[in-house]
Amino acid sequence: MLHSRDVALLRPDVAANCRVWLDRCREAGLNVLVTSTVRDQAYQEYLYQQGRTRPGPIITNGRVPTFHSDKAGLAWDFCKNVKGQEYSDPDFFRRAAAIAKGMGFSWGGDWHSFPDQPHIQWDLQGKWTNAMIRAGELPPSMPPAQPDQSEEEEPMDIHQFEALWQQMRQELQDNDSSPYSEEARKWAVEKGLITGGGQVDGSVANSVLFNSVTVEQGADIQYSILMPGATVKEGAKVYYSIVAENATVE
C-alpha cells in the first residue's frame, strides 16, 4: 500500500510548480503542510471504505486513484501546519488556493458536487477529467511558474531616475529626422531653438529637441506664434522668445 506526501514523487513539472507554490504560500504568511501526493490502488480502496465499512465520514467517492495516482502524480493535499487547526480555517484554504490557481492549478474547493478544500491538481484548467486519467490520458506538461507579478518592484531612487532621463535625452538627440520637416528644422536650428548631435546636409544640426517642453511652455509657444504682440514670460524665453519676432519678454 502506497501513500506518500513526498513532493518529489509528483510528475516533475507538477513537483516543480508545487515547490514554487509552497514558497509563495510561506512568503504570504501561510504555514502550509503537504499531507498527500501519490497513492496506489490499495490505498485508494482503503480511503473509499471509510464511512462505508470503516468508521469515519465518507471522504471520497472514487475507488480508483486518478490525479493522485502514482501513475499520474498530478495532485496533492495540504493543511494548515498548526496543531489543532489543520482544517478549521476556510480563509486559509482560500488564500492558499488563490496562489495555486494563479499559477494554473485547479482547486477542489471550487467543486460543486463534492468540494475538497485541501486538494490542488493540474488538469489544464479543468480540461482533463477523472475518466481521462483512468484511461491513461494525462494532461500535457505544466508550464513553469512565472515570476509573481504582484511582487512590488524595487523603488527607483533619484540618481537612477536621472540616469534614465539622460539616456532617453541622448536617444532622442541621436534619432534621425524625417524629410518632411527639413525646412522647419533648418529654420529652428538657425534661430537656435533646437540643437542636436548629427548633421543635416553636412552642415545643419539635426532637429531633435535637447530638452522636453512642458504643456505650459507649449501653450505659450503657440500663443506667441498665433497672437501678434504677445507677452512671453521670462522663465520660458529660452524655449520660444525667438519664435515670434514681435513677442515681448517680461
Phi-psi region of 221 (alpha: psi -120 to 50; beta: other; left: phi over 0): alpha
Distance set, CA 5 to CA 75, 213, 214, 233 (Å): 11, 63, 62, 75
Grid-cell match 478549521, residue found: 88
In angstroms, the CA 54 to CA 170 distance is 77
What contacts 111, CB < 8 A, 6 or more positions away? Answer: none
Q: Please tell me the total number of residues recorded for the chain in this structure.
A: 250
pLDDT value of position 212: 59
Strands 231-232 and 248-249: parallel
Q: What is the pLDDT of residue 181?
A: 65
- pLDDT tens for each residue of the chain, 250 residues long: 999 999 999 999 999 999 999 999 999 999 999 999 999 999 999 999 999 999 999 988 899 999 999 999 999 999 999 999 999 999 999 999 999 999 999 999 999 988 999 999 999 999 999 999 999 999 999 999 988 655 555 677 888 888 887 777 666 655 556 666 667 667 666 755 555 445 545 554 444 444 555 666 566 656 656 565 655 554 444 444 444 455 555 5
Instruction: Please give the domain boundaries of the chain with CATH numbers for all domains.
Output: 7-134 (3.30.1380.10), 158-249 (no CATH)
Residue 39 has a pLDDT of 97
CA neighbor of 193 nearest in space, from 138, 238, 148, 158 = 238
pLDDT at 64: 95
State the cell numbers at 27.
Answer: 512568503
The answer to whether 75 and 120 have CB atoms below 8 angstroms apart is yes
Instruction: Please provide residue 88's backbone torsions phi and psi, each rounded to the nearest 5 degrees.
Output: -100, 5
The identity of residue 247, as a single letter, is A
Q: Quick one: cell of 191? A: 534661430
- The pLDDT value recorded for residue 20 is 97
| Three-state SS at 186 | helix
Q: Cα separation of 248 and 56, whole Å?
A: 93
Would the pTM count as exceeding 0.75? no
104 CA to centre of own chain = 13
Strands (E), the chain: 32-36, 75-80, 106-107, 119-121, 199-200, 204-205, 231-232, 248-249
**HEC letters along 138-170:** CCCCCCCCCCCCCCCCCCCCHHHHHHHHHHHHH
pLDDT score at 169 = 67
